[in-house]
């Protein structure tokens, strides 16, 4: 993973836009604005994994993607996008370049394309939530 090779010299400044507003104690309250935020059954069946040595750096740079991987709740995926500091030019804090992001989007997109009407409708909601998260200001509860 390319970004894991980047030095963590300014790690405390990365992904800070929303981390100070949204933390583990109140994360669920911010996730509630996203429909299906608590549906662990919608976690992708296959996620490419990383080496253990890469995990620590990944978890610090993208704490909500790490929570998503551990807890399998889509709400953490949306918080990762909502709290992403896109003004930071460092690729290390960009969730869009993580394989977990790509694998999740591909999985949800493929659910739309399958013949299961219910799963297709749910996946459509999840992908709409991706847009909502990217269009949100961290901590905005609307």
pLDDT confidence tier of residue 121, bands split at 50, 70 and 90: very high
Q: State the average pLDDT for the chain.
A: 79
What is the distance between the alpha carbons of residues 2 and 24, in angstroms, rounded to a whole number? 27
What is the SS3 assignment for 5-19?
Answer: HCCCCCHHHCCHHHH
* Angle, helices 99-113/117-134, rounded to nearest 10 degrees: 140
Phi-psi region of 36 (alpha: psi -120 to 50; beta: other; left: phi over 0): left
Higher pLDDT, 92 or 37: 37
137, pLDDT greater than 80: no
pLDDT confidence tier of residue 2, bands split at 50, 70 and 90: very low
17, pLDDT greater than 70: no
Whether the pTM exceeds 0.85: the reply is no
Q: How many CB atoms lie within 10 A of CB 37?
A: 20
Domain extents in the chain:
2-134
Q: How many CB atoms lie within 10 A of CB 137?
A: 10
Q: How many CA atoms lie within 13 A of 45 on its CB side?
A: 4
Q: Quick one: what percent of the chain has pLDDT higher than 70? A: 76
Q: How many CB atoms lie within 10 A of CB 132?
A: 15
Q: Convert the pLDDT of each residue in 63-102 to its tens digit.
A: 888 889 889 999 999 998 888 877 776 656 677 777 888 8
What is the distance between the alpha carbons of residues 77 and 62, in angstroms, rounded to a whole number? 10
Spatial contact of 74 and 68, defined as CB atoms under 8 Å apart: yes
């Amino acid at each position: 993973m390319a970004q894991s090779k980047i030095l963590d010299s300014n790690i405390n400044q990365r992904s800070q836009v929303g981390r100070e507003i949204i933390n583990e104690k109140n994360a669920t309250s911010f996730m509630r604005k996203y429909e299906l935020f608590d549906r662990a059954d919608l976690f992708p069946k296959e996620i490419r994994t990383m080496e253990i040595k890469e995990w620590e750096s990944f978890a610090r740079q993208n704490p909500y993607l790490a929570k998503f991987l551990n807890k399998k709740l889509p709400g953490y995926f949306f918080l990762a996008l909502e709290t992403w500091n896109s003004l930071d030019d460092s690729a290390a804090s960009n969730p869009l370049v993580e394989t977990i992001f790509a694998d999740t989007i591909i999985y949800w997109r493929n659910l739309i394309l399958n013949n299961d009407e219910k799963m297709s409708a749910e996946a459509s909601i999840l992908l709409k939530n991706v847009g909502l998260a990217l269009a949100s200001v961290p901590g905005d509860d609307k």
